[in-house]
Amino acid sequence: MSRPSPSTGMAGMSRQLRQFDKGGVAFDLPDPPPPSQDAQRDARRGGYAVALDGRFVLSAELIAVLAPVLDRFTGTQPSDAEVADVATVVVSAVAVLDLADLLITERDATLRTADLGPDKAAEARSLILRLRRPVTAAPPDAAGLSNGTWTAEIIELARERDEPLAAALASCPFLTATGGRGRPRSARLVATLSDLDLAVTECLRFCSARAAARRAAAQREIDSAAAAETARAADQAALDRLGVPPPPKISRVTVGHPDAEPGRFITRWRGRRAGS
C-alpha cells in the first residue's frame, strides 16, 4: 500500500488507509455506515466525541432522553419534591430547545445578510440575534406528571425546529453568527444535551433515594409495631404465670337520655369482670 502524499490531505489518507493489496490487486473497503442517532446518544453518554449533522432529529432525541422520567411518574401520585426534580429536567430540556433556536437563528442571520457588505452584515446579524425571543415552557405539575402530559409542549416545540436545526447542522457547522469560525454548532448542542442527560440521571437517582427512604420508614414502623406486640404478649404471659386475673371487659351500652334531642343518644360505659 502506497503512502499518502502531503497533497492528498486527510481525505486522501482516509481513502488510502482503506486500500488493501491482495494478490497484487488493490481494492477499497466500503465506507462504514454513518452511526445511528441511538448510537450517537450512547457515545455521548459514554464521553466519546460525537458530531451531529443534518440527519439529527431533535424531537426524537428529546423523546428518547425524557422517556425514563416519563415512565417513572406516569400513573403515580408524585410528591412536591419529585415535581421539583422534574422541573429541573424541564429547565435543561428548554435549554436544549433554546440553543437549537439560537443555532437556527445564526444560520438564518448568515443567509439573510449574505448580500450586505461586511460592516452592515455584522451589524444586521447582531440585530437579528438580539430580536430572537428565548424559548420557554410551562413548569410541570403533579397532574401533568401523573397523566404523562408534561412532555407534550417540549416535544411540540422540538418538532417545530427539527428541519431548520438539521439544516443548520448540515451547512457551515463551524460558522458563528458573526460570520467568523468558532465552536462547532454540533459541539455546542452535544454539550447541552449532555447537561440534559445529567439532569435526567440525577432526577431518577433522587426519586429512587426518596422511594428507598419511604420503604425503609414503612418497614421501621412495621418492625416497631411487631416488637411492641411481642413485648405485650410477653408481659401478658408473665401476668398469667403470676396468677393475675384478666382486666374487666368493657361493654358499650347506648341508651336514650331524657334531656337529649329526639333521635340523639349518649354512650354510657359499664365495666364488669370476665365471667361475672
HEC secondary structure over 150-217: CCHHHHHHHHHHHHHHHHHHHCCCCECCCCCECCCHHHHHHHHHHHHHHHHHHHHHHHHHHHHHHHHH
**Residue span of the structural domain in which 134 resides:** 37-210
Q: How many CB atoms lie within 10 A of CB 58?
A: 25
Contacts of 124 (CB under 8 A, 6+ apart): 109, 112, 113, 116
Asked if residue 220 is part of any domain, the answer here is no
- Give the separation between CA 250 and CA 247, rounded to whole angstroms: 9
- Give the separation between CA 188 and CA 183, rounded to whole angstroms: 7
Asked if residue 56 is part of any domain, the answer here is yes
Using CA atoms, how far residue 248 sits from 143, 206, 245, 273, in Å, is 52, 52, 9, 4
- Report how many domains make up the chain: 2
Give me the phi and psi of 169, to 5 degrees please: -75, -25
Residues 19 and 133 in one domain: no
Residues 137 and 80 in one domain: yes
Asked if residue 215 is part of any domain, the answer here is no
Q: pLDDT 10s per residue in the chain (276 long)?
A: 444 444 444 444 444 445 555 555 565 667 777 889 999 999 999 999 888 989 999 999 999 999 999 999 999 999 999 999 999 999 999 999 999 999 999 999 988 988 888 889 889 999 999 999 999 999 999 999 999 999 999 999 999 999 999 999 987 655 554 445 556 888 899 999 999 999 999 999 988 777 777 777 788 888 888 888 888 888 888 888 888 888 887 766 555 555 555 555 455 545 444 444
- Give the separation between CA 161 and CA 184, rounded to whole angstroms: 19
Asked if residue 262 is part of any domain, the answer here is no
Residues 106 and 91 in one domain: yes
Asked if residue 168 is part of any domain, the answer here is yes
Residues 60 and 8 in one domain: no
Q: Dihedral sign, CA of 90, 95, 99, 104?
A: positive
Q: Convert the pLDDT of each residue in 183-194 to its tens digit.
A: 688 889 999 999
